[in-house]
């Protein structure tokens, strides 16, 4: 099955980013495809390369980057939501790209299942 994911909450502040990542990993392990992960609202903060968590904690941003590289997952950050929160190309972590909300809607159209992570 082909999944589209939407993440609406920031890393560390909220469980949504962790749950979405674990969902993506589990789906891929079962042979499903992740068509796209779209980051919106405070979810855009999952994509900043400036993130430096304590060493004994998980690195949520690097985890996404690794997932993108190893599984060719398309990680898309909303340009407008990103600009509001200071997320631009210069501080974008590897594996992410910035694009418009059209990519969210297109993911909903193309994916067999569209799963939203947030409150």
Residues interacting with another protein, by CB under 8 A?
6, 8, 40-41, 79-81, 83, 98-106, 108-110, 114, 116, 118-119
CB 103 within 8 A of CB 36: yes
**Is 78 labeled as catalytic in the residue annotation?**
yes
Please report how close the Cβ of residue 81 comes to another protein at its closest, in angstroms: 6
Helical ranges in the chain per DSSP H: 16-29, 60-71, 79-84, 102-110
Please report how close the Cβ of residue 55 comes to another protein at its closest, in angstroms: 32
Q: Would residue 31 be called left, alpha or beta, if left means φ above 0 and alpha means ψ between -120 and 50 degrees?
A: left
Q: Among 17, 27, 76, 78, which one carries the catalytic annotation?
A: 78
Q: CB nearer to another protein: give 54 or 102.
A: 102
């Amino acid at each position: 099955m082909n999944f589209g994911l939407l993440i609406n909450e920031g890393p560390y502040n909220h469980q949504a980013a962790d749950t979405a990542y674990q969902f993506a990993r589990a789906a891929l392990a079962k042979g499903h495809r992740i068509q796209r992960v779209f980051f919106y609202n405070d979810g855009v903060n999952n994509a900043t390369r400036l993130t430096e968590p304590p060493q004994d904690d998980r690195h949520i941003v690097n985890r996404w980057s690794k997932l993108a590289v190893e599984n060719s997952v398309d990680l898309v950050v909303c340009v407008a939501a990103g600009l509001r929160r200071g997320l631009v190309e210069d501080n974008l972590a590897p594996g992410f790209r910035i694009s418009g909300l059209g990519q969210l809607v297109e993911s909903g159209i193309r994916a067999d299942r569209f799963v939203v992570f947030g409150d």
